[in-house]
Amino acid sequence: MKINKPLGRKYGYLGIKTLPSQTLIRNQKKYFFVGYSGDFPTPSYQKYFSAGAGWTASFQKDCSIVREEENFLFHDCDTAGGSSGGPIIAMINGEPYIVALNEGEIKTFAKDLINVAVKIDFLEQLNAGN
């Protein structure tokens, strides 16, 4: 899909910021996450949001990127099916920037849920080829 109008001028936009993994991991409880999780809105929020589950963006603050392995970031943001591609956002000098994108959730043999993200620098790498 290609947008034929510069929507950012009218509605605003979030920039992206590439940060080293050590910086992302060191800043615990400093990120927030927005995604279209299939389990939101919960019944307590349904009186405010009537579009239905997965059709309303949820928001979580104070989440962390806890480690990096093989170019994947592991984080503790609250996610569920449908939230893949949602931004992990940091406030840098008072401005919001997307620093990573949620990629998905992995269920372990113990039925724990591990959240995986990718650093935003992959967009710069894709753009370098053009």
Tell me the per-residue pLDDT of 77-95, one tens digit each, with 9 for 90 and over: 877 666 788 899 999 999 9
Secondary structure in 3-state letters for the chain: CCCCCCHHHHHCCCEECCCCHHHHHHCCCCEEEEECCCCCCCCCCCCCCCCCCCCCCEEEEEECEEEEECCEEEECCCCCCCCCCCEEEEEECCEEEEEEEEEEEEECCCCCEEEEEEECHHHHHHHHCC
Inside any domain, residue 79? yes
Domain range spanning residue 49? 14-128
pLDDT of residue 92: 94
Global confidence as pTM? 0.76
Tell me the per-residue pLDDT of 10-68, one tens digit each, with 9 for 90 and over: 777 788 999 999 999 999 999 998 887 766 666 676 666 666 666 677 788 999 999 99
Q: What is the tally of structural domains in the chain?
A: 1
Tell me the per-residue pLDDT of 101-128, one tens digit each, with 9 for 90 and over: 998 777 766 556 678 899 988 777 776 7
Inside any domain, residue 2? no
Inside any domain, residue 6? no
